[in-house]
A and B are shown apart, each in its own frame.
Chain A
Amino acid sequence: MNLTGTYRKYGTKILIIPIIAFAVFAYLAFVYPGISYGIDFRGGVMVSFSSSQPVPADKIAERIRSELGVSDVSVTPTVIPGTGRYGGFVEAVYPEGVASEANIPGTAVLSAGDVNATNMTEEFKRKIVQIIKEEVPDASDMVVRDVAPTLGSTFWGLALNMLLWAVVLLKMVVLVAFRRRLSLAKVFGVIFLDIIIAAAVGRGMGQPAIALALILLDTLLLMTASADATPTIIMLGSAVFDALGMLALMALFHVPLTLQTMTILLMMVGYSIDTDIVLSTHLLKRGKEEGDEYERAGRAADTGLHMSGTTLVSMLFILGVGYLTRNPDVIRVGSVMIFGVLSDVIITWLFNAPVMIAWVRKHASSA
């Protein structure tokens, strides 16, 4: 697909599409349906199994809801292609009672209370397995996993820390690779500041969200200090958009945020930089002899879209394996990867490209 003509004809008018997309994504991710958090972060039980007959998902969900008092339960039936076998996975978040019994940070847990807490979660897990066995008598290959709420909150803290460092490191790579005429002193000054902020949060000083905001803020300051930083800032902005796009699609398709999906989110943000780099290399590092800005951007899009195409092909295979092995984690991982590629295509070729073309043209004419 060649986008040269499109870029030439519509120019920055194309931006309306990603701007609308941004609003829609923000709505999906934060308002409705909103991002859901998996048992990794909230504590709960997950069971996957296979059987020779279709799984009565609604019935199982209803029984878990009414008999165990769980409001947050999902039962997903699956068909294992080509085998004539069925499967399902059940995920239930611990209800308040169980969670609070097992989750009292700071209280003494040594003796009897400890045993009770363990028993309540054990009992909860046992009942879920029992309900599944009653509804699906020949359920086999059962994989059971449970996470206590305390462990969940530990995982959550860790995941936020991970996110923060990934953002700092990504920023570093992009700033160093595309610093152009920016002085190294400025680049390393900003990176040093970011590292201090991230390290402070890691030691329990300050909130990760505030740190993230600070890290984005100093980037904007860098942009005001130097016009040369603009392409880099655009690249980093697109990483934020990419993450938002993935979160929105995850919310829309009920893919919860878990340890694994969070990791994939980070990976896909790293990956999305790929296409941005292809675009900026074509626009910034190539001369007029390779065509004007529109042609160079069009050619970059040609390469970039094929990159996304091939990535999509291998991601579809991951998704396929997920269904074949009835592994909910793998299905989620595959889905998030595909979401990542999709939102990357929107942001890179419909937002970054027209903005960068305009910037290069303005810069070239003023120079």
Chain B
Amino acid sequence: MHPLLKNWKVRVLIGALLLSVVIIAVKGIQLGVDFSGGTVLIFRFDRPLTPDEMQQAVQIISQRVNWTGLASVDVRGWGDQYVFVELSTSDPREIEYMKESILRQGKFETVVDGNVVLTGDEIVAVKPATYTPLTQGYKWQLPFVLSPEGVKDFYTGVHGKCDAAGNCKYTFMYIDRPVNAILLIPPDVAEEENMLSSLPALDAPERDIPLSEFITNAGVRAFVTDENFDIDNILELNAPLVILHPEDNRFIPFLEEHNIPYRVVPPEEGMSWVWRATNLRSIVRLTPSVTNTDPEHATNTLLITGWAKNRKEAEQRVEELSIILRSGALPAGIRLESEQSVPSTYGQYAFWTFLAAMFASMIAVSLYIAWRYRVWKISGPIILTIFSEILLIFGFAALINWKIDVASMIGMIASTGTGVDDQIVITDEILHGKTGEESKKERGILKRIRNAFFIVFATAGALGFSMIPVFFSNIPALTGFALTTIVGILVGITITRPAFAEIIRYTVGRRE
């Protein structure tokens, strides 16, 4: 075995590197908007929110953007008044639509047989839900209170919607029902979604609600775009909006030519496209207890009851529903304060340029040091050290699912670039005893390394500590920088630089 491999500090380094490689291979490296392309929006509430309100606001905004079904999103609160929304798209049309759906209050409607039986204005309050454990799974109940008009409208609207055998109609809940819009359904989608269940998942059991019921309740005019379909026919219909599947992109030039507003709704794996395209949020089956009640004698509280596999799923479902019942209203007024879009082609170019520069800088620095000491053998350990530090930072980032952005990359270059300082101090301390003619009294190499490490720790402390407030500022554009700098310094002083000292000691020792 190579004598260096017996040294525990070198072994720790090798172990850490292997671990890093495994973590990166398993979890992969995530890129931020700067490199993957996308958009960051910063919204501000017109008053500071309590932590609970902020959590609720983040959930509501996530739902609003997820409902648009356009791109993957990351929503997080910042301080007590701001929300950051990170979108994976930089398409101006999609961003416009997203912004609109976040800024605008949604309109809640519950529809049975094409008639609106309840609107958001008629719901006075949504009460806390109750959960009951069953032998298998959980039962949850969500009560909500109607206004006097609401009570009258609702009970009149649903009266007699159950037959004698107890088979009841479904109520369809929408946020922003696309009334009067034209829905173009590709033939394969029409066939696949011919029958649907009361859940949006396509593989849900009991697909017993026909597509026609979805169309009627949504208030849209639907066309299947098979060979018999003629796009010219929609001109006379004067539709406020045309909703398309990406398969029907061929109609876009026609719509643009005739100035007809349109929206392309991409499908989502395993989910019903019709649900998404019509802004349908939930389907709840009526029960005879409601449909048989005389509106004059009805109570003002309604109850939605559901079943879930576990408590977590139940809470999720309740959370979703209560947001819908509140029309997805945010706790305070909101407005857009900042927007940044990065095209994905540019992002990729930027990423590779950064990576190339990092390696070029690594090689240049090590050549410079080797030239300065005229000892070419030490350039190897220096490159190895910088490379290890970068790999370990990437590994750590992958471990905590940190998204690598421009700031993180700069932090890496900066922490490894300044880390080289420590390697110079170490090399100087070790070589000094050999080359400094003025110092006749040799001191042990070990003592010199101890000296060097005092400096290394003090300098790392100063640099690292100055970055702590930056990290805690929580500004996305800066935290990446602070994180990679601090991690770079930490792996430097605990793992790579001790190993570097050993390797240099070995290299120099052999020179004697």
Contacts and interface: CB of A to CB of B under 8 A. Distances in A.
A365 B439 CA distance: 23
A110 B455 contact: no
B420 interface: yes
B470 interface: yes
Contacts of B196: none
Interface in A127-181: 141-148, 150-151, 154-155, 158-159, 161-166, 169-170, 172-174, 177-178
Contacts of B417: 310-311, 313-315
A146 B468 CA distance: 27
A165 B468 contact: yes
A88 B234 CA distance: 45
Contacts of A150: 44, 337
B441 to A, nearest CB: 5
Interface stretch (A55-63, A68-76, A268-276): A268-276
B470 A266 contact: yes
B424 A318 contact: no
Identify which of B364, B368, B455 gathers the most chain A CB atoms within 10 Å of its CB: B455
Given A118-B335, A303-B424, A330-B410, A263 B465 contact: no
A141 B439 contact: no
A318 B414 contact: yes
Contacts of A164: 469
What's the dominant secondary structure at chain B's contact region?
Answer: helix
Given A151-B338, A263-B470, A310-B368, A177 B350 contact: no
A310 B421 contact: yes
Identify which of B44, B454, B461 gathers the most chain A CB atoms within 10 Å of its CB: B461
Contact of B333 (A110, A146, A267): A110
Interface residues of B, number: 73
Nearest to A319: B357
B391 interface: no
B410 A318 contact: yes
Contacts of B421: 274, 307, 310-311
B298 interface: no
B42 A151 contact: yes
Interface stretch (A19-27, A218-226, A245-253, A285-293): A285-293
Nearest to B464: A270
A290 B437 CA distance: 10
Contacts of B481: 260, 263
A285 B436 CA distance: 18
A289 to B, nearest CB: 5
B491 interface: no
B463 A267 contact: yes
B439 A291 contact: yes
Interface stretch (A9-17, A91-99, A203-211, A321-329): A321-329
B478 A285 contact: no
B97 interface: no
B280 interface: no
16 contacts: A114-B333, A144-B339, A151-B44, A161-B469, A164-B469, A166-B467, A274-B418, A277-B459, A278-B459, A307-B420, A311-B418, A313-B417, A314-B365, A314-B417, A318-B410, A324-B353
- 6 cross-chain pairs, A with B, having the tightest CB-CB distances, nearest first: A314-B417, A270-B466, A317-B361, A165-B469, A145-B340, A273-B462
Given A260-B481, A306-B372, 5 more contacts: A109-B46, A143-B343, A151-B82, A164-B469, A281-B454
